[in-house]
Structure 1
Amino acid sequence: MSAQILIVEDEIKIARVLQLELEYDGYRAEIAHDGVQGMEMATAGGWDLILLDIMLPRLNGIEVLRRFRRKNEQTPVLLLTARDTVLDKVMGLDQGANDYITKPFEIEEVLARIRANLRFSSKKGEVEEDRLTVADLTLNPKTREVRRGEKEVHLTPREFDLLYYLMRH
């Protein structure tokens, strides 16, 4: 079964080009043209990956990401935006984005980043064990809970994914 990708992009031509390219590569893609519609579709579930613009009408992409991450920490979200300052990138990644792609972009790079994120997220889904332990650090991949000894450690989604990767490898 091909991966399902949600494109949340208000520029109709860009959204359509992305959809056509993704479908040509064998993905199933749907489009939302504003933040409210994107949030509704994202939380409805069933997505393997979400491409999310930041500057959206009705509800900006960072707020969509923030709300979505409260409900779903595992689906990869790639920010696709014209905002290219270091502060914008840091803010997006700290809010839970898995990657940040600036416009204008080359479609080959977008497709490569999608493949990389889908590979990583599919490996996370294969975990069967209840927890990983290194010294007194314990990580539960199913509940995304981390403990050092008896104390709970709070991590951003990105920090959790990095720690998970390091503990697995």
Structure 2
Amino acid sequence: MAVVLAGCSLSNDETPSTSDQAFAGLATDVVEEVLASPVAQDRVAGDEPAVALARYQGMVRNFIMCRDALAAYREWISTGVAPELPPQPVPAYPSPTAVDMDRDIQMVQQDLASGDITLLRDRLTDPSGCGVWIPAEQGDYNGPTIAEVVEGGL
């Protein structure tokens, strides 16, 4: 299945850059982090360029949402009150798979609104979720992941 971002294209020998239209509307520092992430690079290895751009776009949004969810989790633990998830950035040129990320954002919002912190904890530590591979601190590829922070009570 080919995924094409309108106005976005890479040739097979190019690597994405922060100036690609796929990242318009997203935080440049997080785009840089994702593009430099060995795990992210591994996840797109062998993808057609348009597919890789779409996947990178989703990963950038995922990094932002998951770190915001971690901050909300920490606040909830500290105060006993579930905060709201901050507004999430929307790319100027959403990939066709952006609806999946929108759904993930809604699920985190529902976890926060539920009053049950275990739902958010489970989402952040789920083996197939974002918490197991996204560094808790931006750019700290050797530091703890979000899941490790949640599981370790850090």
What's the TM-score once normalised by structure 1's chain length? 0.27
Instruction: Looking at secondary structure, tell me which structure has more strand per residue.
Output: 1
Greater length-normalized contact order (CA 8 Å, ≥ 6 residues apart): 2
| Structure whose alpha-carbon radius of gyration is higher | 1
